[in-house]
């Protein structure tokens, strides 16, 4: 888990070739470099050429009109708002995501 966009790009770039990341859950509101700019940088190749097309799914507490469009315009593939997720009881970082929200990416992830 990265604390900001700079760390996220570094993590993608530093992943071993035999175990690359398969999907990014991108927080839109991070310090130093937000998720929108981090996504733009990933798409431009700052995280390495092998990561330019990685699926990036926005995660945001906001559910304002236009948020999804802003995420897609930045280069993200999909969008999850807080209402699409909920924390599992008695865990720190585990999330439940509504069925079907990321399912379209699974065939690509399972074929790797």
Q: What is the pLDDT of residues 2-30, one digit of tens each?
A: 888 999 999 999 988 888 888 888 888 88
| Angle ∠(39,31,24) on CA atoms, nearest 5 | 35
Give 47-60 pLDDT, tens digit per residue. 999 999 998 988 87
pLDDT digits (tens, 9 = 90+) for 69-91: 899 999 999 887 766 665 545 44
Q: Assess whether pLDDT exceeds 90 at residue 45.
A: yes
- At residue 20's C-alpha, the angle toward residues 61 and 98, to 5°, is 35
Instruction: Please state which of the ranges 13-27, 32-46, 52-66, 92-106 shows the lowest mean pLDDT.
Output: 92-106
Kindly list the domain boundaries of the chain, sorted by start residue. 5-110
Strands 85-87, 78-81: pairing is unpaired
CATH class for domain 5-110? alpha beta
């Amino acid at each position: 888990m990265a604390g900001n966009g700079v760390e996220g790009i570094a993590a993608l770039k530093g992943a071993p070739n035999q175990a690359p990341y398969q999907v990014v859950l991108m927080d839109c509101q991070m310090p130093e470099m937000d998720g929108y700019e981090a996504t733009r940088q990933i798409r431009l190749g700052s995280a390495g050429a092998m990561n330019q097309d990685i699926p990036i799914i926005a995660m945001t507490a906001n559910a304002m009109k236009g948020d999804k469009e802003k995420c897609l315009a930045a280069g993200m593939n999909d969008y999850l708002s807080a209402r699409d997720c909920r924390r599992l009881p008695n865990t720190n970082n585990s999330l439940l995501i509504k069925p079907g929200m990321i399912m379209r990416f699974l065939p690509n992830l399972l074929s790797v």
